[in-house]
Amino acid sequence: MANLEDSQDVDLDAILGELCALESQYDEALAATPAKPGMEMTHRRNTSDTPRTDSPDNDSAFSDSVSLLSSESSASSGRTDPHSHLHSHSQVDGGNGKADKIRLALQKMKEASVKKLFIKVFSGDGSAKSLMVDETMSCGYVTRVLADKNHQIMEPQWALMEHLPDLHLERVYEDHEPLVDNLMIWTRDSKNRLLFVKRPERTMLFEQPELLSGPNNMIRGDNVDECSKNNMIEELFSGSCIPSMEGPLYVKTDAKKGWKRHHCILRASGLYYLPKDKAKTSYKDLICLATFDVNQVYYGV
């Protein structure tokens, strides 16, 4: 993975310099354009002799079917010097050209400010695909691109996974996450890898909702029919909050050196546990072990 920030800074400086030069030229061209007294006198005379229409839409000089002034309007301003008329057109064309260049420079400057990375993504068979990603791409979009590059049919179980060999951890990226933001956390000499693999837990919520439906659900086993699964999924998403999960876990806190078994509660806001000497019903004594605001859940490998 190569970071292109240095080259982006050079491109940005060059675009800014070009933009400043174009702006100066445009201002000089506007300042050098003299006022045309003949055109002003003709305009005043036409205004006094013939009343203008109420709306430009009804004026024949602004007809949608033609791109130049109508013949009647040209005749009414026939005293205008033709050379000055051509000169004004050239000035307008030059101004439009400079405006287009400024617009193009602004577009290039916006594109140069987008973070881009070259990445290599490994598949389960050991092969790898290289591609460039930017900060506007989500993990779901990159997953679809990788499925196409690997000639695979895109299925819900295909996932983009982060593997941290030094920590023996891995995490499946969610589709809405921006990929570049996650990769920018890695160090330059990192041994971390991106994997394009199938992960069954991506669809576990919909295929086995009985495992996540909470302790009050009495339906267990492999013989859960589709109607019961649909009812469980509807119950999970119909409530105002995500139901909590409870169970025993071994916890290692900062004050303790060893692992202790505690009754833990998993909520949408974080992971909580009860002290060893407290009953399961005294939830007011819950201690927060970790929140999910700035933390991610990894698998140990």
- CA–CA distance, 69 with 59 (Å, rounded to integer): 10
Give residue 205's pLDDT: 80
Same domain? 37 vs 69: yes
Query: Which domain CATH number covers 173?
Result: 3.10.20.90
pLDDT tens readout for residues 16-29? 677 777 777 777 77
Q: Does 193 share its domain with 125?
A: yes
Give how many domains the chain has, as a whole number. 3
CA 197 centroid distance within chain: 23
**Structure token digits, residue 260:** 């202790």
Domain boundary, last residue among 135, 168, 202: 202
> In whole angstroms, what separates CA 88 from the centre of its chain?
44
**Domain annotation covers residue 213:** no
**Do 85 and 48 belong to one domain?**
yes
Tokens representing 112 are 């140069």
Residues near 113 by beta carbon (within 8 Å), at least 6 away in sequence: 8, 12
Domain that holds residue 192: 116-202
Give me the pLDDT at residue 279, please. 62
18 with 59, same domain?
A: yes
Question: For residue 291, which amino acid is it?
Answer: T
DSSP state, residue 153: -
Helix, strand, coil shares of the chain, percent, nearest 5, are 40, 20, 40
Q: Do 6 and 107 lie in a common domain?
A: yes
Q: How confident is the model at residue 240, as a pLDDT? A: 72
Structure tokens at 293: 């605001």
Report if residue 215 sits inside a domain: no
Tell me the β-bridge partners of 123: 196
* 31, part of any domain: yes
Largest CA distance in the chain: 102
End residue of a domain, out of 86, 112, 138:
112
Residues 12 and 101 in one domain: yes
| 94, 30: one domain | yes
Q: Are 92 and 175 within one domain?
A: no
Q: Does an H or E element contain 205, and which?
A: helix 204-207
Question: Which runs of consecutive H residues, i.e. helices, occur in 77-172?
Answer: 82-112, 139-149
In a domain, 103, yes or no: yes
Which residue in 64, 211, 281 sits closest to 219, CA to CA?
Answer: 211
Question: In this predicted model, what pLDDT tens digit does every residue of 39-51 receive, in sequence order?
Answer: 444 444 444 444 4
Same structural domain, 171 and 157: yes
Task: Please check whether residues 137 and 100 belong to one and the same domain.
Answer: no
Tell me how many helices (H) and strands (E) the chain has. 8, 11
In a domain, 234, yes or no: no
Write down the pTM of the prediction.
Answer: 0.56
Residues 131 and 83 in one domain: no
- The residue among 92, 112, 132 that closes a domain is 112
d(CA 277, CA 86): 94
Task: List the pLDDT tens digit at each of the 301 positions of the chain.
Answer: 444 445 555 555 666 677 777 777 777 777 776 655 554 444 444 444 444 444 434 443 333 432 223 333 333 344 445 555 555 555 556 667 777 777 777 777 666 677 888 899 999 888 999 999 988 899 999 999 999 999 999 999 999 999 999 989 999 999 999 999 999 888 888 899 999 999 988 888 888 887 766 555 555 556 678 888 888 888 777 777 777 888 888 888 777 778 888 888 888 888 999 887 666 667 778 888 888 877 788 888 8
Query: How many beta carbons lie within 10 A of that of residue 266, not counting itself?
Result: 18
Asked whether residue 91 is domain-assigned, the answer is yes
Residue 38 included in any domain: yes
Would residue 222 count as lying in a domain?
Answer: no
Residues 6 or more apart whose Cβ sits within 8 Å of residue 229: 206, 207, 209, 210
Buried b / exposed e along 184-214 (16+ C-beta atoms within 10 A):
eeeeeeeebebbbbebeebeeeeebbbeebe
Same domain, residue pair 263 and 288: yes
Gap between the Cα atoms of 182 and 174, Å rounded: 11
CATH of the domain at 263: 2.30.29.30
